[in-house]
Amino acid sequence: MEYIQQGSSAFKKANLALFAGGFCTFANLYCVQPLLPEFTQTFHITPAQASLSLSFTTLALAISMLIAGSLSDAAGRKKIMAFSMAGVSLLAIVLSFIPSYPVLLGVRVLQGIIFAGLPSVAMAYLGEEISPESLGAAMGIYISGNSVGGLSGRVLMGTLTDLFDWRLAMAAIGVISIAASVLFIFLLPDSRHFKPQKTNAKGMALSLIGHLKNPGLNGLFFIGFLLMGSFVTLYNYIEFLLVKPPYSLSPILVSWIFIVYLVGTFSSAWMGAKADQHGRKKMLVLSIVFMAAGALLTLSASLAAKIAGIAVFTFCFFGGHSIASGWVGRRAAVNKAQASSLYLFFYYAGSSLGGTLGGLFWAEAGWGGVIAMISLFLLAALAIVCFIGKKASSQ
């Protein structure tokens, strides 16, 4: 059976469906981020404690993805992804009725578990169904859906919360996510190259260990950890900086700064295609270097310079993530879903640990401390790329 080729009707349907899936997942995952300053005031907690509403979710997501990928190897890709989207959408509506912060954290953990059914499985689906020469572009389009979802969740939540309240905003996200779920189910082509495998705990463990022993894959996993840890840290704490003097921006204005996510919609597809043409190592190095430059630019006192720095940082993050995640799919010869799950385990573990660790740097050294932490993460990622690049690029 032929693979799905770029330009075909099936390619367009698959990418639109997975774009909707990425939108649904990441709108719900990050919708709490603009609420962090409000949580600190409403529940009388610290910024680091407020960040747990995101960190707990991403940690649950990271752990659950190790199982979700293997379940999809047995049950099928589309079924697992559809269940995930429907469950997340319904829980978003439940969240709009939550009475207290501890209960909110509990439901966010449950959401994180159910989230796991889409990200790693989507990457495996693309790796199996899309032709190799079109994979970079397809992965980029999928990740652009992630960026649009992350943008929409933040902007919609921030805007509606400022105009009304966060509960109405959460319910609105739930309704939109249900619509995206229906679109996904009807558009995504059925798998043609998927071969069911029996779930075997021992075999699954051995497979995971095998992936972790692969130096190229292991390096890519840690790169995902460091890139995502840097990204979430910057977005978690820039809000606390901008609502304070001398900027004193309103929550609605801060939420609209997330509009720079749109550059990620372009960069993920564009840099994924460039990596296919010019080599993954070269483009990944450029992404990390310019991420660091964007982060350092936010140290400027100028609000315009800060926004420009965030835009550069965001552009290069989504490009780097697109390259690294696509590289995992190309390097893993067997059990691609497990390899994708491991990459995303490290990726979201970086979000959880880095995002909360950033709160300690913020408390001790302010915005300069946050950027110092991000710079260390990116220097480590750059060192890993240089170390594994030659070996991994031969795969």
382-393 per-position pLDDT tens digit:
999 988 765 544
The more confident residue out of 197 and 103 is 103
Phi, psi values for residue 4, rounded to 5°: -75, 125
Residue 217 tokens, joined: 């894959």
In the three-class reduction of DSSP (H, G, I as helix; E, B as strand; rest coil), residue 191 is classed as coil
Model confidence band, residue 19 (pLDDT cutoffs 50, 70, 90): confident
Q: Would you say 216 and 222 are in contact if contact means Cβ atoms under 8 Å apart?
A: no
Continuous segment of H or E residues that includes residue 293: helix 280-297
- pLDDT > 80? residue 185: yes
**Residue 212 confidence (pLDDT):** 72
- pLDDT > 90? residue 358: yes
Residue 103: CB partners within 8 Å, gap ≥ 6?
none
User: For tokens 């740097």, what's the residue?
Assistant: 361
**Residue 383 confidence (pLDDT):** 93
146-171 tens-digit pLDDT: 777 878 888 888 888 888 888 899 89
Residue 68 tokens, joined: 């979700």
**Residue 395 confidence (pLDDT):** 43
Lowest average pLDDT, out of 7-16, 152-161, 163-172, 256-265, goes to 256-265
Q: Would you say 60 and 112 are in contact if contact means Cβ atoms under 8 Å apart?
A: yes
The model carries a pTM of 0.79
- pLDDT > 80? residue 381: yes
Model confidence band, residue 369 (pLDDT cutoffs 50, 70, 90): very high
For 289-308, what is the mean pLDDT?
A: 95
Residue 132 tokens, joined: 């190799």
Phi, psi values for residue 51, rounded to 5°: -65, -15
Question: Among candidates 201, 174, 238, which has minimal Cα distance to 71?
Answer: 201
First and final CA of the chain: distance in angstroms? 24
Return the exposure string of 205-223: e unless at least 16 CB atoms fall within 10 Å of the residue's CB, then b. Answer: eebbeebeebebbbbbbbb
Lowest average pLDDT, out of 52-66, 250-264, 339-353, goes to 250-264
The one-letter amino acid at 169: A
The more confident residue out of 199 and 246 is 246
DSSP 313-362: HHHHHHHHHHHHHHHHHHH--S-HHHHHHHHHHHHHHHHHHHHHHHHHHH
Residue 184: CB partners within 8 Å, gap ≥ 6?
17, 18, 20, 21, 24, 81, 82, 85
User: For tokens 């795969």, what's the residue?
Assistant: 395
ω before 246 within 30° of 0 (cis)? yes
Residue 367 tokens, joined: 């915005």
Most confident of 74-83, 149-158, 207-216, 342-351: 342-351
**Residue 367 confidence (pLDDT):** 96
**Residue 4 confidence (pLDDT):** 80
For 282-287, what is the mean pLDDT?
A: 90
Residue 45 DSSP code = -
**Residue 74 confidence (pLDDT):** 63
Model confidence band, residue 337 (pLDDT cutoffs 50, 70, 90): low
200-225 tens-digit pLDDT: 666 667 667 777 777 778 888 999 99
How far apart are alpha carbons 207 and 126 in whole angstroms? 20
Q: Tell me what the pLDDT averaged over the chain comes to.
A: 85
Q: Would you say 82 and 76 are in contact if contact means Cβ atoms under 8 Å apart?
A: no
Residue 375: CB partners within 8 Å, gap ≥ 6?
292, 295, 296
**Residue 62 confidence (pLDDT):** 85
How far apart are alpha carbons 32 and 47 in whole angstroms? 13
Lowest average pLDDT, out of 34-43, 99-108, 302-311, 328-337, goes to 328-337
Name the CA dihedral angle for 262, 10, 85, 148, rounded to a multiple of 10 degrees.
0
Rg (the chain; Cα; Å):
20
Lowest average pLDDT, out of 97-101, 287-291, 326-330, goes to 326-330
Phi, psi values for residue 130, rounded to 5°: -95, 140
The CATH number corresponding to 9-189+197-390 among 2.40.30.170, 2.170.120.12, 3.40.50.720, 1.20.1250.20 equals 1.20.1250.20
Residue 72: CB partners within 8 Å, gap ≥ 6?
79, 80, 81, 117, 120, 121, 124, 337
**Residue 290 confidence (pLDDT):** 95
Residue 331: CB partners within 8 Å, gap ≥ 6?
214, 216, 217, 220, 339, 392, 395
**Residue 101 confidence (pLDDT):** 92
The more confident residue out of 66 and 358 is 358
For 341-369, what is the mean pLDDT?
A: 91
Continuous segment of H or E residues that includes residue 196: none
Our separate counts of H helices and E strands in the chain read 16, 0
